[in-house]
């Protein structure tokens, strides 16, 4: 196995940040352990940045902005094409890093984490090539310009996927960036910085400073030379970033928590609706903000749904993430393992019927952050497991008596990120989708679309990622009146 840890150690990357095109030593001495979730052993430790590191990175990005923003679309597209190609070339190194740092099964890292992350770069490149930065409206020119220096704060659950979802469109728009990846899953971010360097991205256009949200994240949000912050994380983290950014009136784009519903309409084919719904809820071990973890089903079909859900859960293989047969690895870190155990206990205490899984590790595991894929049924919408984001392999099945009640249940949370609707009457499916308050709705499990804008209503955040809208998030709009060409 080509170990990304050995590679980064031999290259001297683990003790460095990437600032102004160079691998530089941190200003401070604080460090944090990177823990392997399948063994609970420490893989390595990395430096934690501070406000002085942020200052260096922001100044590098500011100094590079004028020249980068003035490059042609063709030049920026060519740079993104090189980054995309190198990432695909090193895909196995990235996949192995993800399995080590956050427990993604190697088969899933290869099939989803890495190729979908690369797609964000391809889409940014392709959209840039055909995008009109100036359009005419009568005698007024509507011009879109890069917003400036962007701070990008990314999470531990989809580490490289969320990095490329921000870096690709930001660079395409003509912005320069400072990335703060999660300190819990930093290896894939360091590999990405190597790709950036080897692809010939100009110095200062991309900068990386590892660190905590409290220190590096806050310093970036406060910095007067940062024009925009894009954060993917918990709703709590998004609120803190927005509060820190408010005095400088910078743009804050937030992709935050979710508690996504999956409405199974009365005419749905249960055999086509339930097993894929369970799989969607438990993808990435349930550690996806848009995972449909509330399965909303007709009350008269509840027994059949329960049987199908239990059967689907029984097909999952929780185990060593490096084993090819494993479908679900450990949770990504100790804190998340504790959170999932706490919420499973809350479901039991509140009287939900446990039909699969439960608290504790699966049989055969005495260490590692392994959780049991868990299904509760006959859940009420006022229960914690129906309202709070668990971020683990826990599915709540909620019965309804009418379609209106199903829609009401779907909308009965503070979140509005993703949703699903299953049914055969497409007029009804579309009508129900229109009534759900969320930024994205999937009808009958369609293929993933990297061009589909993604973002939330309510406390799931604001702003959009992916596609044209994701690139426009990093732009300002200027009107030039009397511009008649």
- List, in order, residues 6 or more apart from 147 with CB less than 8 Å away: 173, 175, 227, 228, 251, 474, 475, 476
What is the structure's pLDDT at 356?
Answer: 98
- List, in order, residues 6 or more apart from 137 with CB less than 8 Å away: none
Assign residue 293 a region (left: φ > 0; alpha: ψ between -120 and 50; beta: otherwise): alpha
Residue intervals in the chain for CATH 3.40.309.10: 261-448
pLDDT band at 485; cut points 50, 70, 90: confident
Strands 140-146 and 475-481: antiparallel
Residue 448 pLDDT > 60, yes or no?
A: yes
Q: What is the CATH number of domain 261-448?
A: 3.40.309.10
**What residues act catalytically?**
255, 289
Give the DSSP H/E element, type plus range, for residue 354.
strand 353-356
* Across 227-252, average pLDDT: 97
* Across 121-131, average pLDDT: 98
For 187-229, what is the HEC assignment?
A: HHHHHHHHHHHHCCCCCCCEEECCCCHHHHHHHHHHCCCCCEE
Give the DSSP H/E element, type plus range, for residue 458.
strand 457-458
pLDDT band at 125; cut points 50, 70, 90: very high
What's the predicted TM-score (pTM) here?
A: 0.97
Residue 353 pLDDT > 90, yes or no?
A: yes
Percent residues over pLDDT 70 in the chain: 100
What is the structure's pLDDT at 2?
Answer: 63
* Across 381-405, average pLDDT: 98
Backbone angles phi, psi at 327, to 5 degrees: -100, -25
Task: Name the CATH topology of 4-256+460-480.
Answer: Aldehyde Dehydrogenase; Chain A, domain 1 (3.40.605)
Residue 9 pLDDT > 60, yes or no?
A: yes
pLDDT band at 484; cut points 50, 70, 90: confident
* Across 255-263, average pLDDT: 98
**From CA 111, how far away is CA 14, in angstroms rounded?**
27
* Across 33-56, average pLDDT: 97
Residue 1 pLDDT > 70, yes or no?
A: no
CA-closest candidate to residue 300, choices 333, 277, 268: 268
For 151-199, what is each residue's pLDDT tens digit?
Answer: 999 999 999 999 999 999 999 999 999 999 999 999 999 999 999 999 9
Assign residue 204 a region (left: φ > 0; alpha: ψ between -120 and 50; beta: otherwise): left
Residue intervals in the chain for CATH 3.40.605.10: 4-256+460-480
**From CA 259, how far away is CA 389, in angstroms rounded?**
6
What is the structure's pLDDT at 477?
Answer: 98
* Across 341-353, average pLDDT: 98
pLDDT band at 217; cut points 50, 70, 90: very high
Backbone angles phi, psi at 275, to 5 degrees: -60, -45
For 76-96, what is each residue's pLDDT tens digit?
Answer: 999 999 999 999 999 999 999
What is the structure's pLDDT at 276?
Answer: 98
Assign residue 346 a region (left: φ > 0; alpha: ψ between -120 and 50; beta: otherwise): alpha
């Amino acid at each position: 196995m080509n170990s990304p840890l050995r590679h980064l150690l031999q290259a001297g990357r683990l003790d460095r940040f990437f600032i102004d095109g160079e691998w530089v030593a941190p200003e401070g001495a604080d460090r944090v352990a990177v823990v392997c979730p399948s063994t609970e052993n420490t893989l390595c430790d990395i430096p934690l940045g501070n406000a002085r590191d942020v200052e260096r990175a922001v100044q590098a990005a500011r100094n590079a902005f004028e020249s980068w923003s003035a490059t042609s679309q063709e030049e920026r597209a060519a740079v993104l094409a090189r980054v995309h190609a190198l990432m695909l070339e090193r895909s196995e190194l990235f996949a192995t890093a993800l399995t080590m740092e956050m427990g993604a099964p190697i088969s899933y890292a290869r099939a989803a984490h890495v190729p979908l992350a690369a797609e964000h770069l391809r889409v940014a490149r392709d959209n840039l090539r055909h995008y009109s930065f100036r359009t005419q409206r009568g005698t007024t020119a509507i011009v879109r310009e890069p917003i400036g220096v962007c701070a990008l704060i990314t999470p531990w659950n989809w580490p490289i996927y969320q990095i490329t979802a921000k870096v690709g469109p930001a660079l395409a728009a003509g912005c320069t960036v400072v990335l703060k990846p999660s300190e819990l899953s930093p290896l894939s971010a360091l590999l990405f910085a190597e790709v950036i360097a080897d692809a010939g991205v100009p110095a200062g256009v991309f900068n990386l400073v590892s660190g905590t949200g409290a220190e590096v994240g806050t310093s970036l949000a406060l910095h007067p030379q940062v024009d925009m912050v894009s954060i993917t994380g918990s709703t709590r983290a998004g609120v803190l970033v927005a509060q820190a950014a408010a005095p400088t009136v910078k743009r804050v784009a937030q992709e935050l928590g979710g508690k996504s519903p999956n409405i199974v309409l009365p005419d749905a084919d249960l055999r086509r609706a339930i097993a894929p719904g369970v799989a969607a809820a438990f993808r990435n071990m349930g550690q996806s903000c848009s995972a449909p973890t509330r399965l909303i089903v007709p009350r008269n079909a509840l027994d059949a749904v329960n049987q199908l859900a239990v059967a689907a859960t029984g097909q999952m293989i929780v185990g060593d993430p490096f084993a090819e047969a494993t479908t679900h690895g450990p949770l990504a870190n100790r804190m998340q393992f504790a959170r999932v155990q706490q919420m499973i206990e809350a479901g039991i205490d509140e009287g939900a019927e446990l039909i699969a899984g439960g608290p504790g590790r699966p049989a055969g595991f005495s260490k590692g952050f392994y959780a049991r894929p868990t299904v509760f049924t006959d859940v009420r919408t006022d229960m914690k497991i129906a309202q709070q984001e668990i971020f683990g392999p826990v599915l709540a099945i909620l019965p309804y008596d009418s379609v209106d009640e199903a829609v009401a249940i779907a909308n009965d949370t503070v979140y509005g990120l993703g949703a699903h609707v299953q049914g055969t009457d497409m007029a009804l499916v579309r009508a129900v989708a229109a009534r759900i308050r969320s930024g994205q709705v999937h009808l009958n499990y369609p293929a993933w679309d990297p061009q589909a804008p993604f973002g939330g209503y309510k406390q799931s955040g604001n702003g959009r990622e992916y596609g044209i809208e994701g690139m426009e998030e990093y732009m300002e709009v200027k009107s030039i009146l009397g511009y008649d060409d």
